[in-house]
Structure 1
Amino acid sequence: MTTDQKNLIKATVPVLKENGVLLTDHFYKRMFKHNPELKNVFNMGNQQNKRQQTALAMAILAYAEHIENPAVLMPAIDGIGQKHMSLDIRPEHYLIVGKHLLASISEVLGEAATPQILDAWEVAYNQLAQIMSGHEHKLYSKQVQKQGGWSGWKPFIVKEKIVESSEITSFHLYPTDNGPVADFIPGQYISVRLFIPELNLLQPRQYSISSAPNGEYYRISVKKEVSVNVNPDGIISNRLHDFVNTSDIIEVSAPAGSFTLNTENDHPVVFISGGVGQTPLISMLENLIKSGSKKPKTWIHGCRDKNVHAFKDVIEYWAGEKQEVKKHIFYNQIDEQARSENLYKGWVDLNLLDPEVLSPDAEYYICGPGAFITKHYKELVGRGIKKEAIHFEEFGPQTLQL
């Protein structure tokens, strides 16, 4: 890019801050109108709740702000690239997106979108597409080189379906070819793709792998949405609960994700989760225990009550008989039978814990709703914990990282 083109991109930053979501909303509507086949690739639930539009607007803004040195965005680019790999996004998709994004800039900005601005954004987008597709090519190549690795979608059979709580059920997925499953780093996720008759679409969703690597199967643990009017975001989860049974075959993409367990040091680890957000953390904790890690381990989890508390027994076993982990559990509702040591009433509140629980030398892993992550991230930073020691996983489109 020329210096003049970079200056033109930076000059659009105020417009993107004010009208970014308006632009991306227009973009998605335009793209789905002209390329409706892409509705099978995108999560239509995140279209309805505007999370995807917001995430894209934030990504475009971040790119414009750092157009002089886009390398500083690599952590976010890697997270997006991991998600793209799990959805089987290919270089040809960038051509379609670029065409509709540039057209949307012209249509939304009107006369303000001068030929010079459009030319600058075309160069800028092509540069970003090259960065993204190049990074994703490396991810795909690394994936297929693994034993049992693959790219795209692969059939898996549901061999076990286990109820973990009143809301969460686990599915044990084995490859239909009876071969080994690709290894993964604890904390990563897979995508599952099902046909949804109500939408007449294939729809993908990401689910954290909730077990340590075992070479035989992946376990995902899925929460059922119990509201009367389930939005498209809960359709896949509920279909897994209600219609997918043992011996059924579903399509799965290879493990992906950059929220992963660091095993390269002996620092204590503290896991903080809300609800079904514990699933990637269970994988991390199980891996540490099975590998014989001597890291001090602390488990902090919150949910509504004991009936919805999945993996309660295994955590108690690891904390009690095995004495591998120290646990602190928060229930919104506690009955007399549920009362036990280190059980607290209310939402997860780090201020209720003894100060030594939150060691300044520990690494922290947080997973739950966006507001949950934000609250505890700020709390830890306020206690002097280094930001680089705090890791979090945001279910759905990436906005907190951006």
Structure 2
Amino acid sequence: MLSEQSTATVRAALPAVGAAIGDIAGLFYQKLFAAHPELLRDFFNRGNQAAATQQRALAGSVAAFATMLVEHPDTRPDVMLSRIAHKHASLGVTAGQYEVVHTHLFAAVAEVLGDAVTPEVAAAWDEVYWLMANALIAVEDRLYAERGVAAGQVWQEWEVAGRTEETADVTTFTLRPADGTPAPAFRPGQYVSVQVELPDGAHQIRQYSLSGAPGAPVRSITVKRVHGGDGPDGEVSAHLHAHARPGDRLRVSLPYGDLTLGASAGAEPAAPLLLASAGIGCTPMLSFLEHLAATGHDAPVTVVHGDRFPADHALRADHARLTAGLKAGAAHFWYEHPEAGHPTERTGLVDLGGLTVAPGTHAYLCGPLPFMRAVRTQLLAKGVPAADIHYEVFGPDLWLAQD
């Protein structure tokens, strides 16, 4: 909890800090990478930095945390903190790195806000920072302990055991630990970080959802080749598509991620589920479906997916097959440009208007942010409580930054 004196100071400074938080975040990364160029080369996502999405995500999370401290002092944004901590754990973030961030973030604050940063303002925002940092460190330490590893020791060498071309731009890679040890257990919906060496010597990291039976000796990741459009092409996805072949080695992290079929569905076996995805966001949903089929889930499961073309729908046959294998599963696929004979009511963007959403439904969303916002709005209109709508973002979480 923020001290009484700092609460008043932060509340008074929030409008000015909020208006400048984007500039502060941008300058912070400039200072950080000038002092530690290896972080941009080998740790941070260069594509996200070029597109400024990481800057906006940082700004959104800090602003949301500070606002929560002053407006709702008896609560904590645990959902946001959990999502950030799982991502950090998959990268091997350690407590000492928060000191480095603090140094350059507060240098950026002082430079952007100038004389407005009085000693009182600096002390209050320092308190905000360490409340957030220590909360994250505590969650990350717990995540490492649950895996039985020291902080940051999450990396292992894996071997590519096979690859399958799913679509023109989507490939599934089957992986196994190179040392022959069992593949670490994972919860459906979790992801791993994958690090590759690029031609310029950089070691870039990306996250990919896991699929495969939890007890199997291999794991699968399904990777969409990212075409940049107005921004850069995806460095790691393009490298994997072009170069990763059976027998090759990759650095892979332990599994993390908090979009799982968790306590809500686990505590209520009869809970209806709605799994909504778009594009490559189908990958965690396939993992959910594999788990539901294996455990004999008998409550209604509504599967919703949207894509531009049927040919773009990765793992389409598996998506339909796994849903059909459930006791009460129903799949609804929308395509903006459907094939001949596709139902008219499933043409265009995903529209839940014609679907019945059972009382007590827990919804899980994954896909582009506009898609998830639209589906969430429709679910709220159908009476699904906000607390029962869960989501995963592939990349920096801009939901907070845009709220």
The alignment's TM-score, normalised by the length of structure 2, stands at: 0.91
Quote the Cα distance in structure 2 between the aligned partners of 1:244 and 1:70: 49
Q: Cα distance 1:324–1:246, how it changes in 2: closer, same or farther (>3 A)?
A: farther
Find out whether 1:307 has 2:311 as its counterpart.
yes
Find out whether 1:180 has 2:182 as its counterpart.
yes
Find out whether 1:263 has 2:262 as its counterpart.
no
User: Partner of 1:190 in structure 2?
Assistant: 192
Quote the Cα distance in structure 2 between the aligned partners of 1:60 and 1:227: 28
Q: Cα distance 1:15–1:321, how it changes in 2: closer, same or farther (>3 A)?
A: closer
Alignment of 1:313-324 (within 5 A): 313-320=317-324
Quote the Cα distance in structure 1 between the aligned partners of 2:95 and 2:246: 36
Once the 2 structures are TM-superposed, how far is the Cα of residue 16 of structure 1 from its aligned partner? 2.2
User: Partner of 2:142 in structure 1?
Assistant: 138
Between stretches 49-58 and 3-12, larger displacement belongs to 3-12
Once the 2 structures are TM-superposed, how far is the Cα of residue 111 of structure 1 from its aligned partner? 1.0
What SS does the corresponding residue of 2:187 show, helix, strand or coil?
A: coil
Quote the Cα distance in structure 2 between the aligned partners of 1:278 and 1:118: 44
Q: Cα distance 1:217–1:72, how it changes in 2: closer, same or farther (>3 A)?
A: same
Quote the Cα distance in structure 2 between the aligned partners of 1:116 and 1:18: 19
Q: Any idea what the Cα deviations from partners look like across 1:92-141, whole Å, max 9, x if unmatched?
A: 11010001111111111111111222222233323332222122111111
Quote the Cα distance in structure 1 between the aligned partners of 2:396 and 2:314: 25
Find out whether 1:211 has 2:215 as its counterpart.
no
What SS does the corresponding residue of 1:263 show, helix, strand or coil?
A: helix
User: Partner of 2:171 in structure 1?
Assistant: 169
Amino acid at match of 1:160: G
User: Partner of 2:43 in structure 1?
Assistant: 41
Report the aligned-residue RMSD. 2.3
Find out whether 1:235 has 2:235 as its counterpart.
yes
Q: Tell me if the contact between 2:293 and 2:326 (Cα under 8 Å) persists in the aligned partners.
A: no
Which runs of no fewer than 5 residues in structure 1 stay unpaired? Answer: none
User: Partner of 2:399 in structure 1?
Assistant: 400
Find out whether 1:112 has 2:111 as its counterpart.
no
Quote the Cα distance in structure 1 between the aligned partners of 2:177 and 2:161: 10
Amino acid at match of 1:175: P
Quote the Cα distance in structure 1 between the aligned partners of 2:306 and 2:145: 39
Find out whether 1:55 has 2:54 as its counterpart.
no
Q: Cα distance 1:268–1:292, how it changes in 2: closer, same or farther (>3 A)?
A: same
Once the 2 structures are TM-superposed, how far is the Cα of residue 227 of structure 1 from its aligned partner? 5.3
Quote the Cα distance in structure 1 between the aligned partners of 2:138 and 2:260: 22
Quote the Cα distance in structure 2 between the aligned partners of 1:323 and 1:64: 46
Once the 2 structures are TM-superposed, how far is the Cα of residue 47 of structure 1 from its aligned partner? 1.1
**Which of 94, 98, 103 is 1:99 aligned to?**
103
Amino acid at match of 1:334: P
Q: Tell me if the contact between 1:305 and 1:333 (Cα under 8 Å) persists in the aligned partners.
A: yes
Quote the Cα distance in structure 2 between the aligned partners of 1:108 and 1:228: 32
Q: Cα distance 1:62–1:320, how it changes in 2: closer, same or farther (>3 A)?
A: closer
Q: Cα distance 1:373–1:81, how it changes in 2: closer, same or farther (>3 A)?
A: same
Quote the Cα distance in structure 2 between the aligned partners of 1:323 and 1:342: 27
Q: Cα distance 1:6–1:300, how it changes in 2: closer, same or farther (>3 A)?
A: same
Quote the Cα distance in structure 2 between the aligned partners of 1:313 and 1:215: 22
What SS does the corresponding residue of 2:69 show, helix, strand or coil?
A: coil
Q: Cα distance 1:127–1:270, how it changes in 2: closer, same or farther (>3 A)?
A: closer
Quote the Cα distance in structure 2 between the aligned partners of 1:135 and 1:97: 18
Q: Tell me if the contact between 2:10 and 2:121 (Cα under 8 Å) persists in the aligned partners.
A: yes
What SS does the corresponding residue of 1:59 show, helix, strand or coil?
A: helix
Once the 2 structures are TM-superposed, how far is the Cα of residue 325 of structure 1 from its aligned partner? 2.3
Quote the Cα distance in structure 2 between the aligned partners of 1:121 and 1:323: 53
Quote the Cα distance in structure 1 between the aligned partners of 2:74 and 2:395: 23
Quote the Cα distance in structure 2 between the aligned partners of 1:301 and 1:342: 15
User: Partner of 2:347 in structure 1?
Assistant: 345
Q: Any idea what the Cα deviations from partners look like across 1:378-399, whole Å, max 9, x if unmatched?
A: 1110121111221111111123
Q: Tell me if the contact between 1:150 and 1:254 (Cα under 8 Å) persists in the aligned partners.
A: no
Amino acid at match of 1:258: D
Once the 2 structures are TM-superposed, how far is the Cα of residue 363 of structure 1 from its aligned partner? 1.3
Find out whether 1:382 has 2:381 as its counterpart.
yes
Q: Tell me if the contact between 2:64 and 2:400 (Cα under 8 Å) persists in the aligned partners.
A: no
Once the 2 structures are TM-superposed, how far is the Cα of residue 228 of structure 1 from its aligned partner? 6.7
Once the 2 structures are TM-superposed, how far is the Cα of residue 311 of structure 1 from its aligned partner? 1.7
Q: Any idea what the Cα deviations from partners look like across 1:243-293, whole Å, max 9, x if unmatched?
A: 111111000111111111133211111111101000001000111001222
Between stretches 20-29 and 392-401, larger displacement belongs to 392-401
Between stretches 124-133 and 151-160, larger displacement belongs to 124-133
Amino acid at match of 1:296: P
Once the 2 structures are TM-superposed, how far is the Cα of residue 67 of structure 1 from its aligned partner? 2.8
Find out whether 1:73 has 2:77 as its counterpart.
yes
User: Partner of 1:289 in structure 2?
Assistant: 293
Q: Tell me if the contact between 1:210 and 1:281 (Cα under 8 Å) persists in the aligned partners.
A: no
